[in-house]
Amino acid sequence: MVSYKDARVPILTHSLQYGSGIFEGLRAYETKDGTAIFRLDEHVKRLLRSLKIYSMKISYTDKQLMKAIVEVVKKNSLKSCYIRPFVFYDSDKIGMNPSRSKVSVFIAAVPFGAYFGKGKEHGIRCKISSWRRINSGILPVEAKASGNYINSIIAGNEARASHFDEAILLSASGYVAEGSGENIFLVKYGHLITPDASADILMGVTRESIIELAENIGLIVEQREVHKEELYSADEVFFCGTAAEITPVVNIDGIHIGNGKPGPITKLLQQKYEQVAFGENKEFEGWLTYV
């Protein structure tokens, strides 16, 4: 354990120069039984899958990584927080070949509130970006790699420059993919619809959780290609992700979604999600790891 100010790497670190880091994002929530990390096992497994895709080898097992994450949260005495495990090439050599570089891991935990602020309650406005989502013919989208997020940053910059809160990216084929850092769902005729893997989305842990929670309460969930115009005519739209949690989208490209306010199914799923995260739903208690 080191203090934040003492956690240093060289300015020429390979993963800073070339975006070759692999990371995860997790949240811990305050429950009546103490601090609990949401879906720790699933996040660590995805981290290891990302490393395998990029041929990055670490000496730690999934159990060791999970134990370290718990210890970091405990050491910081945080009742709720955002957790960032990051795997990187610990080398300051100039060049694209990192094969002989040491691979290091750090884990940080920081206080963290609502990613979109009041938007979590009132909803946010989005712009469909002119930039397309990267696809697996360009970069492995299944891996949560640092370099992938340059695509997200430029789309988000464009949206905010146009006075929107967030971007929505389309796939190379023109179908709805995801937000700049969130998966997307829409509600139509009482059904929950979300883009499938063919849109080159990151297969989010929160996305998977929402699908399971929705099916548990009897909602029909469709995973399929989604046309852009389906967003405009949807009854409800929302983002989901570790940082975003469940955030309603109430306007896209200046068009109100539904009545321009968070819809009832979005609110219901927000409630169900929070019940699980805060340890109030025994059926999904296995999703929590207590610190």
Closest CA to 146 of 94, 95, 68, 89: 89
Distance of CA 82 to the CA centre of its chain: 12
Q: Would you say the C-alpha torsion 16, 17, 18, 20 has a positive or negative sign? A: negative
* Residues in contact with 95: Cβ distance below 8 Å, sequence separation at least 6, in sequence order: none
Secondary structure letter of residue 246 according to DSSP: E
Residue 34 CB neighbours (<10 A): 13
Residues belonging to the active site = 144
CA distance 247 to 118: 10
Residue 88 · residue 13 · CB < 8 Å: yes
Residue 96 · residue 18 · CB < 8 Å: yes
Residue 148 · residue 139 · CB < 8 Å: yes
Q: Scan for tokens 């993919």, then name that residue.
A: 177
Residue 33 CB neighbours (<10 A): 10
